[in-house]
Structure formats: C-alpha cells, structure tokens
A and B are shown apart, each in its own frame.
Chain A
Amino acid sequence: MSSAAISLKDLDISYGDTKVVRDVSFDVATGESFALVGESGSGKSTVLKAIAGLASDWTGKISVLGKPRGHGTDRAFSETCQMVFQDPYASLHPRKTIDTVLSEPLAIHGIGKRSEKVVEMLGAVGLDQRFRFRFPHQLSGGQRQRVAIARALMLEPKVMLLDEPTSALDVSVQAEILNLLKRLRREQGLTYLMVTHNLPVVSFMCDRMAVMNKGRIVEIAPKTALYDGSFADPYTRDLYAASGGNPDAGPVILAASETKDPA
C-alpha cells in the first residue's frame, strides 16, 4: 500500500506492565479522513500517542507516509505529522503569547520569515491579528483551539492527528472548529486521523471509521453505515443505538450546518 498515509500493523501498546492496546492494524489512505471511535478507556487516544511518539512502549509496525516510525519524537517526523490535543486549556503554555507559541516550531526548524508566516496562519485559522500578542488566558476555548490547530499546521504537515479536538468545547464552538478543520483539510490536502466518541462528528468529518473496544478494533466501517446502521459487530450496534441512531438528527450537525465558519 504505497498510498497509505498511516499504516499500523499488529500494534500493541503498553503503559508499564499493562497492555492497553492489542493487535491494532489499519491503513489510512492519503487525503482520507479516518475516525477512531469508542468509549472512554478503549485505547483510541493511546493509538494516536503512539503514532505521534508520545507513548513509546509499543510493538508492531507504525509507518507514516511510507516511512517506519521510531519509538520517540523526532525532528524530521514533526514536519510530516502533527497532533491537536483534546483540551485547549491544557495545550497552550500559560506564560507564552500566541505569537511565541506559533513561531516556536519555525524557530526549532530554522525556518525564516516567521512574522509573515504567523500572520498568515492566524488568518488561515480565522483568528484576528489583534490576538497575536495575547496570552492564552485572554482567549476563549474555541480561540485557544484555533491557536492549537495553527501551531500544528505551522510546519505544513501532511498528516494531522486529532485527539477529540472538539469535546472540551461548547456545542456551537464545536461546529466552528469542525468547519475550520474541514476547510483546512480541503485547502491543504491533509490526511486526518481523528479520535472521537461522538458519532455525529464522524459522519460530518470522516470517510471511514474504526470502532475500538477494550483495546481492540472490533470493526472498520465506511461512514455510510452511520446512515443505515449496517454494522456487523454487536458492540458497534449497541454504540450506534446508544448515540441515538441516525446522526443527522443530532444537534451537532444541525448546529454545524447552521453556523457559518466566520473565517
């Protein structure tokens, strides 16, 4: 599979002596938006962390854009793949201005024209220039998440790992961020691997989904399964039923289609 942006094979991940993820294998095609769905503690965020290099205790194979991954973070990798964290209140350094946060990736990689790039990126994620020299505590949750997305995009990666990027936000703000992510993916040709427990978000954002339960993947399904409920696995059917069946009736999607992304 040469076109796979992310390829996982027989991935087992442990924290200390506890094995949290077993036997995970899937491929995400270049340009695809793939969702990892499951309840809390099913190991979906851990898979993202292993790909990013933040959970280093794993066995199996991980490759991103055809290159096998090592067990830690490294500089070359950071230019191809970045991650957006779940909680925008915890993912920005409290003592750094937005400008410092955004120009740091450029400084680390010795990229010039930082000022222009920061201004351009603020525009791309729909933040006004007056936010540039503010501190994180002077921003709202949605604005912080835009900054976090902007930071991830500063190095122009091709693959984005999204760890429940909207679950810490208000419903209306969720819709804005989802629209922003959708637009950025279209404009920059990004590949998304997104963790969520919100099925409506999957049907709005993603092409395919993998359902995880207790550290294993129980089913990989196209998003069309969300419309007709054609899931094979009993656990997936339960999850689908618990989230209220056809997600197009869900409030998030209604809000998302009504709220225009201001950017």
Chain B
Amino acid sequence: MSTRDWLLDDSPATLTQANLGRAWRMFSALMRNPLAVAGLLIILLLLATALFAPWIAPESPVGQNLQRRLLPPSAEHWMGTDELGRDIFSRVVYGSRITLMIVALVAVISAPLGLIIGAVAGYFGGWVDRILMGLTDVFLSLPKLILALAFVAALGPGIENAIIAIAITAWPAYARIARAETLTFRNAEYIQAVRLVGGSHGRIIFRHVLPLCTSSMIVRVTLDMAGIILTAAGLGFLGLGAQPPLPEWGAMISRGRTFILDQWWVATMPGFAIILVSLGFCFLGDGLRDVLDPKQGGEK
C-alpha cells in the first residue's frame, strides 16, 4: 500500500491516520488552485530567503562604503546601492527576516486573542457578550494606523513596540469573526450533546467551538498578512518602526524617498519586495478560503 492510499483510506485505523488523511485531502485541494500554489511558492521563497539570508546576500546589510553610494542596478549590485553605499539586494534579503518576524509575531499574538475573546462572547451571550464586544467596538472604531501610531508614540519607536502596536490593532476584527461564527453553532445539537454528557463551558469552548472557528480565522489572518506588512512598512516609513540601520523594507522606502526622482531604485526595490510578499499572502489566503471555508468547501 502506497503512502497515498494509506492517507486516503476510507477506514483509517488510527486517529493520526484520520487526521493526516484529512490534511492531505485539503492539501491536494489547495494544490489544484494555481493562484494558491503561486502564493504558496512566494511564501516559501520568503521563508527560504529569511532562513538562508547570510548565504544568499552577497554583502553585509549594514556595511557602508561611501565611495560607491547610489549606484544604479548592475551585475555587481543587482538592485543598486543606497545613499550610504550599502547593497540594496543584501538589505532586501535580510529585511525578509524582519518582515517574517513581524508577521509571525502579530499573528501569534492577535489571532488567538481575538479568537478566544470572540468565542467567549458568542458562546455566553448576554452581558459577557456586551462587555467584550463593546471593548472590541472601541478598538474597531479607531483607524488602525493611527491607533498603532499612538501606541508606538507612547511606547517608544522600535520594532518590538511596532509589533505590539499592530497586534493590539489587529485582534478586534478576529474577535468579530469568531463571535459571528460561534453564534451560528452555539445552539447546535452537537454542542448541546456535549453539555448533556456533562462537558464544562471551558471544554466546550476550547475543544468544540474553537476548532470550528479556526478555519475561517486562518483564512482571515492570511489575507490580513498583507495589511500587517503594509502597516509595519507604514510605521517604518514614518520612522516609528524598525530603527536604522535595521534593513526594514518600509524604513528603506522612507530613506529612498529623498532620491526618488534621480535614484529611483533606492525606494522601488524594497517596494517590489513588499508588493510581492503581500500578493503571495493574498493568493494563499484566497486559496485557503476555497479549501477551508465551511460555507464553500462543505464539511470537508
């Protein structure tokens, strides 16, 4: 029996096999969507770049050489050099680490936070719901970038504070989604059945409600990744995110703004990187929605 047959076996012999089989079916459905594959490849490229940055980048991202400042793209400097003579390609490659870190940390902080707040609000209803959703509304009613700006201004500029600020502004949307999802099945018979056998509220929320919210959450977070990258770049551009000499893409664009007419590559190259990665996350998110969304994908 081949691995594939084992994965697609109609009568799995263990729980692991059943779960792996389901994961495999989702994966092969995802692979049938060309845009999702493109997105996945871009994300994998980003991961590989971040992981192997020291081997990929020809030069140090912070090594200055004022004799060759602002050189146009050439065979030696693929993306040209900036105003301090640093190789832009190397900086973009190293910048992928920062971008990936921002995206991962924001997702790790804000998605579970929003998920739990939304699920608790939706499951209990009543005054718990009103208080939690009131809080969510307060955060939602403020413009994201402005709120992040205010937090960074209060906490001080820097990459860590930018991450915290973005995470704080990102969770309310997830809480809303999780609550809406929870409301659709909080009175479902399979939830009532767990209550009947004596399951506690905590058990129901963590074991039964949250697993049903996660798929739409994964889709939403993936689609939001682009926005998170752009917000981080925006903070960097305003000088409130990563501080020099960190090769953060938004900060690099900000530095290149001064030379945008004569030395266009300084601002454009990191811009391309931002566009490419954002696009990758969008494609992947769209593909994931087709596979994971319970409304479209059936009960797979």
* A74 and B188 contacting across the interface, CB-CB below 8 Å: no
| Cβ of B126 under 8 Å from chain A | no
B residues 274-300 touching A (CB-CB < 8 Å): 294, 298-300
Number of A residues with CB within 8 Å of any CB on chain B = 39
Bound CA span A64–B85, Å: 84
CB < 8 Å neighbour of B197 from A86, A91, A138, A155: A155
Interface residue count for B (Cβ, 8 Å)? 30
Tell me, in angstroms, the Cα distance from A151 to B196 when the chains sit together.
11
- Find chain B residues with CB under 8 A from A83 CB: 193, 196
Taken together as a complex, chains A and B put the C-alpha atoms of A134 and B13 apart, in Å, by 9
Contact yes or no, A73 B195, CB < 8 A = yes
Mark B14-29 against chain A: 1 for CB-CB distance below 8 A, else 0: 1101100010000000
CB pair A104 B194 closer than 8 Å: yes
Chain A residues within an 8 Å CB radius of B190: 90-94
Residues of B within 8 A of A52 (CB): 196
| Contact between chains at A82 and B189 (CB < 8 Å) | no
Residues of A within 8 A of B200 (CB): 108
Judge if B208 is at the interface, Cβ distance under 8 Å.
yes
* 6 more CB-based (< 8 A) A-B contacts, given A133-B15, A133-B17: A91-B193, A93-B212, A104-B197, A130-B10, A131-B11, A137-B298
A134 touches B12 (CB 8 A): yes
Q: Point out residues on B near A: beta carbons under 8 Å.
A: 10-15, 17-18, 22, 188-190, 192-200, 203, 207-208, 211-212, 294, 298-300
Pick the residue among B13, B198, B208 that contacts A73 (CB under 8 A).
Answer: B198
Within 8 A of B (CB), among A64-116: 73-75, 77-79, 82-83, 85-87, 90-95, 97, 99-100, 104-105, 108-109
Listed by A's residue number, 16 A-B pairs whose Cβ atoms lie within 8 Å are A78-B197, A78-B198, A90-B190, A92-B190, A94-B299, A97-B15, A100-B15, A104-B194, A105-B197, A109-B197, A133-B13, A135-B299, A137-B300, A151-B193, A154-B197, A155-B197
Known contacts A94-B212, A95-B211; A82/B197 CB under 8 A: yes
Flag if A54 contacts B198 (CB, 8 Å).
no
Say whether A85 contacts B15, CB under 8 Å.
no
Would you give the shortest CB distance from A54 to chain B, in whole angstroms? 6
A136 within 8 Å of B by Cβ? yes
A95/B212 contact (C-beta < 8 A), A78-B196, A133-B15, A136-B299 known = yes
B24 to chain A, nearest CB (A): 13
